[in-house]
Amino acid sequence: MLHLGLAKRLPDDYLLAQLGNNVAIPVIVAATFAISFIYNVFIYPFYLSPLRNLPEPPNGHWIWGHTREIRDLPKGVAHERWMHTVPNNGLMRYRYLFNVERLVITDAKGLQEMLVTKDYDFKKPHYREAVVAPLLGAQSILFIDGDAHKAQRRHMNPSFSQRFIRTQLPVFWRYANLLGARLIEDNKLDSYPTTQPAPAFDMQKWSTRITLDIMGDVGFSTKFGALTETGTPIATAYGKLFGSSPSSVVRLLKMLGPVYNFEGLLTLLPSKHKKEFLRYLGIVRGACRKVVQKNRAEREFGAGLGKESLSEKEARYDDAEYVPRESSIIQTLLSEEIGFSDDVLVDQCMAFLAAGHETTASALTWGIYELCLNPTLQRILRSEIRGFGLHDPSINTHSMPNHQSLPQLYAFVAEILRFHPTITLNHRESLKDNTILSQPIKKGTIIKIPVLGFNHSVHEWGPTAGTFDHSRYLKQDGHGNVVYDGTGKAKSNWSLQTFNHGPRSCIGKEFAKEELTIVLAVLVGRFEWELEREGQVVEIERAAMFKKIKGGLMVRAKIVV
C-alpha cells in the first residue's frame, strides 16, 4: 500500500516525534487514509492498473463506478447486457463501488484458460466466504481448493455416476407422484367444478418441498417430510435462509463487502436479521449433523454384525433390480477409505442440500412458468409423456425412456437449464499474478463469468438466443423423425455455462437433469397448467442467492383425464 511505503521512507526520529504528539497522531492517520483513498480510487484504476485499457460499460460514475446498474437489476443481468453491447475482444472491465475493478470474461477461450488450463490458480473470492460458506459448507467440495478438492471430487464421483442415479429413479418417481397427490389433495382438484377456475397456489414453494425431500432420501437416507407435513423445521429454515430479503443494513454491508471485506461483519451485526440467520442456520446444520450421526451409527452397527462394508464398490453399484436401503451419497462418503470427519461430512451435507435442492427447485419453478405461457407446448409434451404411460401414479421403475424416445421432454428440460440458469453469475479470484488471453492480471483480481450472457448470446446460440425455444434441441434424422439434439445448435459446449466447466464443474449435473425430467413428466402428464391471472408478470428476486421469483409463482392446475 502507498501509505506503508511512505512511512518506510520517513526518518525514525521524525516518526517518534510525531507519535509523541497527541495532536499529530490523528492528523497522520487522516492524511494516510486520504492519500490511500485518492490513490486507490482516482489514480490506480485510471493510470496504473494493467486493466485500465480494457473496454468498459458507458456511464460509469466517478466514484460509484457501475454499481448502480448492478444494484438496480437482477443478479447477472447487467453483466449480460454489457457482454452483448460493449465491443470487446474477450475481456472487459467494469468498476464497482469506489472504482474497485472487476474483470469480465466474454470469450470461450478465456473461460477455458481460467477454468481448465489454470483452474487451481483461481478460487472463489474471499469476500463471499463470510456469508456463503456457512450456508454451503466451508469444508465442502464447493469451497476447498487444490489437492483437497481433487481428492474430494474423486471420492464423490461414484455417487453421481449414471449407474448410481439409475438405482435412485424409483425415489424420483415416488416423490414426483407424491407431489401430484398432494397438489390434488391440498387444492381439492378432484372435486372442484370444472366450470370454475381451480384454486391458485404457489408452485415455487412446492418445488422447494419436493426437491428437499428427494435430496434427503437419495443423499442422506433420511425422510425430511417436506411434502407430507406443513412447515417442517428444515423446510421452514431453508425458506428463510434462501428466500427472505435481507435488511437494508445487511444489503449495504454486502455491497461494501467486495471492497472492504465488510461481509464478515454480518456475523457480528446486532440485528434481527442476524439472529434469524443464525437460528435458521443452526436448524439446518443441526439436521445435517443428525443425518451424519444416524448414518454413521447404522454403518457401525452393520459392521458389528459382520455386514459387508458399504465402502465396497459392489455395494455402490448393485444390480438395477435391487436398491439397497443404505444406497445414498452419505453412505458412500462414510467409508473408511475416504475418512471424512463428522465436521467435514456436515459441511458436505450443507453443500448437497443447498446446491442439490434449491437449484433444481428453481429450474422446476421456471419450467412450470414457461408451460403456463405456452399451452401448445403443454399439449405436445403431454402427448409424448402419456405415450409411455409416465403419467401413471403407480409407476415405480429403475428405467426411464431415453432422449430419443422422449425428444420433446428432454429438449424442454435442456432449454429450461439454458434460458433460466439458477446461478446467473459466477466468480473467481486470482491467487497470484497471472494472465488470461495474454492480458496481465494482478493477484487478488476478481473475475466475473456472465452465465446469463453466455447462455443468451446470439454469437453462441444464434438469432433466437434471447427467447425460450425448446426446438433448438430438436432436429430431424435421415428418416424425417424428430430426434433430440444435445448440442442445441450452439457454437460449442462452452456456450452453456449453467453447470460451469473444468475440474470445478457441477458434480450433480446428471442427477439434477434426471430429477427434473421425471418430476416434469408427472406434472405435465397429469395436469394442465395456467397462471393465476392472464398476463401475469413475474419479477425476479434481486436479493436471493438463486434465481427465484419474487413473491412466488401463483398458478392453477387442472387434472387431465
The angle formed by the CA atoms of residues 411, 412 and 416, to the nearest 5 degrees, is: 115
Q: DSSP for 365-431?
A: HHHHHHHHH-HHHHHHHHHHHHHTTTT-TT---S----TTTSHHHHHHHHHHHHHS-S---EEEEES
Distance CA 235, CA 412 (A): 28
Are 264 and 391 in a shared domain?
Answer: yes
Domain CATH number, residue 446: 1.10.630.10
Owning domain of residue 273 = 146-559
Give pLDDT, residue 249.
Answer: 45
Does residue 87 belong to any structural domain of this protein? no
Report percent pLDDT > 90 for the chain.
Answer: 53
- Grid cell 486470482 is found at 430
Whether the full predicted model's pTM is greater than 0.85, yes or no, is yes
Residue burial 144-176, b: 16+ Cβ < 10 Å; e: rest: beeeebeebbebbeebbeeebbbbbbebbbebb
- Report residue 436 as a C-alpha cell: 488470461
Are 40 and 154 in a shared domain?
Answer: no
Identify the CA nearest to 75 among candidates 555, 545, 553. Answer: 545
Distance CA 3, CA 40 (A): 11
Identify the CA nearest to 432 among candidates 146, 54, 16. Answer: 146
Distance CA 170, CA 325 (A): 12
3-state SS class at 27: helix
For 520, residues 6+ apart whose C-beta sits below 8 A from its C-beta are 364, 367, 381, 409, 412, 413
pLDDT less than 50: residues of the chain: 1-10, 14-16, 19, 247-250, 252-253, 257, 260-263, 305-326
Q: DSSP for 462-517?
A: -TTTTS--GGGGEEE-TTS-EEE-TTTT-SSGGG--TT--GGGS-TTHHHHHHHHH
Rounded to the nearest 5°, which phi and psi values hold at 527?
Answer: -130, 155
Does residue 200 belong to any structural domain of this protein? yes
Give pLDDT, residue 146.
Answer: 83
Does residue 122 belong to any structural domain of this protein? no
Are 286 and 418 in a shared domain?
Answer: yes
Give pLDDT, residue 496.
Answer: 98
Are 42 and 154 in a shared domain?
Answer: no
Are 8 and 157 in a shared domain?
Answer: no
- Max Cα–Cα distance, the chain, nearest Å: 92
Does residue 2 belong to any structural domain of this protein? yes
Are 44 and 159 in a shared domain?
Answer: no
Are 38 and 175 in a shared domain?
Answer: no
In DSSP terms, 483 is beta-bridged to 475
Distance CA 13, CA 21 (A): 13
CB atoms within 10 A of CB 321: 7
CB 54 within 8 A of CB 107: no
Give pLDDT, residue 483.
Answer: 96
Does residue 65 belong to any structural domain of this protein? no
Does residue 120 belong to any structural domain of this protein? no
Does residue 137 belong to any structural domain of this protein? no
For the stretch 333-357, pLDDT in tens is: 887 567 788 888 899 888 888 888 8
CB 114 within 8 A of CB 122: yes
Identify the CA nearest to 219 among candidates 89, 119, 341, 360. Answer: 360
Number of structural domains (the chain) is 2
Are 244 and 366 in a shared domain?
Answer: yes
Are 161 and 14 in a shared domain?
Answer: no
Does residue 535 belong to any structural domain of this protein? yes
372 is in an annotated binding site: no
Are 405 and 545 in a shared domain?
Answer: yes
Q: Strands 527-531, 426-430: parallel, antiparallel or unpaired by DSSP?
A: unpaired
